[in-house]
Amino acid sequence: SVADPQALIEGLNPAQAEAVIHAGSPLLIIAGAGSGKTRVLTHRIAHLIATGRARPGEILAITFTNKAAAEMRERVSALVGPAGERMWVSTFHSACVRILRREHEAAGLRSTFSIYDAADSTRLITLIVRELGIDPKRFTPKVLAHRISDLKNELITPAQFAETAQTSNPLERHLAEVYPAYAARLAAANALDFDDIIMRTVQLLQARPAVAEMYRRRFRHILVDEYQDTNHAQYVLVRELVGPGASGAASPLTPGELTVVGDSDQSIYAFRGATIRNIEEFEKDYPSARTILLEQNYRSTQNILAAANAVIARNTGRRAKNLWTDSGDGAPVVGYVADSEHDEARWISQEIDRLSDEHGLRPADVAVFYRTNAQSRALEEVFIRSGQPYKVVGGTRFYERREIKDAIAYLRAVDNPDDDVNLRRILNVPKRGLGDKAEAALAEHASRHAISFGLAIADAAGALREGAGEAGAAGARGAAEPSEPPAVEGLTTRARNQVRGFHELLTSLRHMLAAGDGVADILDAALDSSGYLAELRASDDPQDATRVENLAELHSVATDFQGANPDGSLADFLERVSLVADSDQLPDAPEQDQGQITLMTVHTAKGLEFPAVFVTGMEDGTFPHMRALAEDSELAEERRLAYVALTRARERLYLTRAAVRSAWGAANAMPASRFLDDIPEQTMEWKRLASSSELLRGSTGWGSGWGEGGFSGRSSRAGRSTRTEDDDFAPPVGAGTRTGRLGRVESAKDRAAKRVEARRAR
Ligand code: ATP
Ligand code: MG
């Protein structure tokens, strides 16, 4: 059931159609938000297959989230039939993990390698910092982790860094010690961190021409969405996969056809090393490239577009775009000035009710965005109270909750006996009398005998050492016959017994794995036999009850996985867990059901669209973020972020701000966001122009300069930092969704009526 190629072109505008049909040279599609870039990519893939120009197996399509990948595969399959299943449609990370698993030998990895997420990496760096005697207060593991990540995104190896590091700079000097130690520990633990996944693949392709050649022959068509958010490592990866011919070098192989789409105005991941250089210099990198511009926006109304265009127009050094729509003005962009963040949340909740009553919008049609995760709490409180169904995408990341990490650590330790970080994490979890002293004794033993922590545990348990040739670090010891292990010094008899018990537990779980038991069963056994669940159940701390619920949820994730992948291994499951992106948790627009209101950060909203969008916290210090106020380049990134936020809306866009916002127990007066000043008056309608106290003071909003009058001017706030560093630095990895549980007891109308009553009574 392959589609008719002509049908794939119908309904596209001429520029879109050209982009779908184009053949023979690299193709760059640059265009503003909502102009159909992703749609063109999807149709182009379907067209390649329908015309026979490519077989599905020859296509590699890269998207930004797993959710976007699943959507794209689904759409292409709908257009071309089941053959679409053989395409590689995935994120950079998923594609690279796939390559590394297949080529693990060439890449110098064991097939069972683990993937460490950001928290694992930081934990490992904490250990190293402690061992090297570095002051963790001055040089925090987090900062060091961030710097190492930057280096990897730039493809700088520990050895290369050692050559260029400025030893006069204390941070660089420590980094030059920590980075190689970290790399060695990852290697010993048979683990890769997130940045390694890309870097190791690049190194593999560069070091092994035969492997590179094989993938170049295989992927004749490479398509990348959201190209503006690629970093240097990803850029080089694409270049390696396309092959040398594409950039003009002589090559026996015709280069793969490369299509990239993006919008430099939507580049919002600079803090993770993304650089718009890649999109801006595409024509230099690939001199034969063809560039196609798309100018018609199909997503939003004219008013929404005018507001978004006005905000982004203030950035300097950008290519001006001429984005237009023929969908009419639509409703004005609505503004609202609330007294506080609670008032803001209340108003939004009421307005969503009104939209549902008067305009038939379902909760699933509505999204509420905020700049930083912490802002979701006030909104959640109101939605819970009003009984409106909602979900938080990204906020408290499910996979970053302690109990989930513990359970995953058990699974990882079972899967990879050399996974030191995870073994150390669970050594005394639940408490089994193996505290810091026992851990130190085991670590000391491991380093003295140059074996992994896992083998030190085996030694302490008195397990006979197996002969050489076994998997694991057994090679390091080289004995041909099973032999008595060397004694582990510094362990009490009691500790030794406990280690033995722990070792037996791990061994029995590994037997289950070897016997082919499913992930959910192994998880059950781990949580039961370890006493982890029993401890939580025995506790009367209500939080522990929640933890049990969360573990139950993990259990159903594992069961679902088992059902969907009867042949899936534990390693596959752990890989899935490591790679799920936040937006993966979005529901697939259930038809019968009204769905839920989506709460998310602007970063997470990239590429998505909703009929109605609320952008909250439009305040200087909130959005743009406090940290960006003093720095031009950061302010420019905040502006792009605002552009992304505003352009998610299809029919209705709301911009709200709170005159007073609390953070860390203090109430701060917040001036209006400077972005509001840029929006043309005639596209907006203000439902409330100023807060109660601003009204009392006679400040009426328009033209009277919010922020200058009222509580305080901008400058007086600029130095005060009220947010933690990582509020918005969380990468879209590790999934989390909180769901409001209370059922809807009253109809939206009932509640609205009650509210009106209450207001009259006042
Ligand atoms: P973003 O920059 O936000 O990622 P985009 O450029 O990728 O946006 P799409 O998501 O592909 O834009 O398209 C935006 C909306 O416009 C989608 O709902 C899409 O189906 C619709 N659309 C795109 N092109 C057309 C067209 N030619 N006719 C009708 N609808 C279209
Ligand atoms: Mg898109």
Note if 266 is an active site residue: yes
> What distance in angstroms lies between residue 583's CA and the mean position of ligand 1's atoms?
18
Buried-state track 257-273, b at ≥16 Cβ within 10 A, e below 16: bbbbbbbbbbbbbbebb
| Residue in 10, 16, 28, 35 to alter for ligand 1 test, most ligand atoms within 8 A of Cβ | 35
225 is catalytic: yes
432 catalytic per annotation:
no
Residue 296 CA to ligand 1 center (angstroms) comes to 9
Question: What pLDDT sits at residue 378?
Answer: 82
pLDDT for residue 384 = 79
Which has more pLDDT, 190 or 377?
190
Spatial distance between the Cα atoms of 279 and 97, rounded to a whole number of angstroms = 25
Question: What pLDDT shows up at residue 116?
Answer: 85
User: Model confidence over 387-434: pLDDT tens digits?
Assistant: 888 888 864 556 667 888 899 999 999 999 999 999 999 999 999 999
Task: Pick the closest to residue 368 from 359, 356, 378 (CA basis).
Answer: 378
Pocket test for ligand 1, best of 30, 39, 641, 644 (most atoms within 8 A of CB): 39
Contacts of 261 (CB under 8 A, 6+ apart): 28, 29, 30, 31, 37, 38, 40, 41, 223, 224, 225, 226, 227
| pLDDT at position 724 over 80 | no
Please tell me the predicted confidence (pLDDT) of residue 553.
Answer: 74
CA 402, 586, 641: angle at the middle one, nearest 5?
90
529: left (phi over 0), alpha (psi -120 to 50) or beta: alpha
Q: What pLDDT does 761 receive?
A: 54
557 pLDDT tier (thresholds 50, 70, 90): confident
Q: What is the pLDDT of residues 127-181, one digit of tens each?
A: 899 999 999 889 988 889 999 999 999 999 999 999 988 888 999 999 999 999 9
List pLDDT tens digits, range 508-528.
999 999 999 999 999 999 999
What residues line ligand 1, using a CB cutoff of 6 Å? 11-13, 16, 31, 33-39, 263, 266, 298-299, 607, 609, 647
Catalytic residue flag (residue 648): yes
CA-nearest residue for atom 8, ligand 1, is 34
Q: Is the pLDDT of residue 82 over 90?
A: no
- Per the annotation, does 479 bind a ligand? no
Q: Band of the pLDDT at 331, cuts 50, 70, 90?
A: very high
Confidence check: pLDDT of 202 > 80: yes
CA 618 to ligand 2 centroid distance, Å: 24
Checking if the pLDDT of 254 tops 90, the result is no
Q: With a cut of 50, say whether residue 583 has pLDDT above it.
A: no
Q: Which two tokens stand for residue 566?
A: 């009867």
Ligand nearest to the CA of 37: 1
The band of 251, judged by pLDDT with boundaries at 50, 70 and 90, is low
**91, 230, 234, 266: the active-site residue:** 266
Residue 750 pLDDT > 70:
no
Classify residue 244 by burial, with Cβ atoms within 10 Å: 0-12, 13-18, 19+. middle
Residue 226 annotated among the catalytic residues of the structure: yes
Most confident of 507-521, 531-545, 737-751: 507-521
More confidently predicted of 760 and 74: 74
pLDDT band at 748 (very low <50, low <70, confident <90, very high): very low
Least confident stretch, 30-39, 460-469, 605-614? 460-469
Highest mean pLDDT among 297-311, 464-478, 735-749: 297-311
Catalytic-residue membership of 37: yes
Burial class (CB in 10 A: 0-12, 13-18, 19+), 191: buried
**Residue of 310 and 5 predicted with greater confidence:** 310
